[in-house]
Amino acid sequence: MERLLVLLALLCAGHAVHQDLSENVFTFPLESPTSSVKLTSSGVQSIIAMTVCMRYFSSVTRAQSLFSLAVPSESNAFLLFKPSVNVYRLHVQGTALDISGLPHDTDDWNSVCWTWESQHGLTTLWVNGKRSARKILRDKAIITGAPSIVLGQDQDTYGGGFDQNQSFVGDLTDVHLWDSVISPCQIRFFMEGSAFNPGNLVNWNDLQYSITGSVHVENSDFDKVTCQ
């Protein structure tokens, strides 16, 4: 059954592209029930720790999905979701935890890193250089099976089940995923736009992806480079 689900996900994906996106962003200009980016990760079938880092720019104040990782047995295996402006909702293996009180800039870039480890269930969210208190989320959980990673939509089924009212609208860039909890120093380097060790599962600078619907690859303005 799992092989069939993986095959169907591959057949439904658009043409895969492999490139360095270090100077680019994915732009999602409008609400959509289909527009998304499918990321291909390095071959891993069992995950007991994870860190995801990314940057996003959005004017939207409604609920929207930032990062969705599903496996055949669980659609919300590792989901970073924003139910409202000042709240982040973290999902691990279907269990959710809300984090509030961290900085948020509407109509500006927000840098986010989320860490989780299985042994104790410790999870921490970092936003724009500030971190949350450490919380417990699904201790002893193991994420197994071929991951389906989607940007721009929340997977309610493996590789699909999208809801337009939860679609992301704005820009996403610098998406990295590790199968470990990276150090606070590495997170700080990421937040500041300094050199850091890129993700070993998903690396924005060496990214394999496929686009469905109205998603555009545009030049990045995160560093606010002064034009000559």
Is residue 132 within 8 Å of residue 101, measured between CB atoms? yes
pLDDT in tens, 124-140: 999 999 999 999 999 99
Contacts of 136 (CB under 8 A, 6+ apart): 120, 121, 122, 123
What sign for the dihedral angle of Cα 30, 178, 180, 162? positive
pLDDT in tens, 51-95: 999 999 999 999 999 999 999 999 999 999 999 999 999 999 999
Question: Taking phi first (over 0 means left), then psi (-120 to 50 degrees means alpha), and beta for anything else, what does residue 161 get?
Answer: left
Beta-ladder partners of 38: 150, 210
Q: What's the predicted TM-score (pTM) here?
A: 0.91
Residues, the chain: 228
CA distance between the termini of the chain: 56
Residue 227 has pLDDT above 60, yes or no: no
Q: CATH class for domain 36-219?
A: mainly beta
Contacts 24+ apart (CB under 8 A), 224-227: none
The sheet with strand 74-84 has its strands ordered as 17-19, 207-212, 36-39, 148-151, 64-71, 74-84, 87-92, 95-100
**Mean pLDDT for the chain?**
91
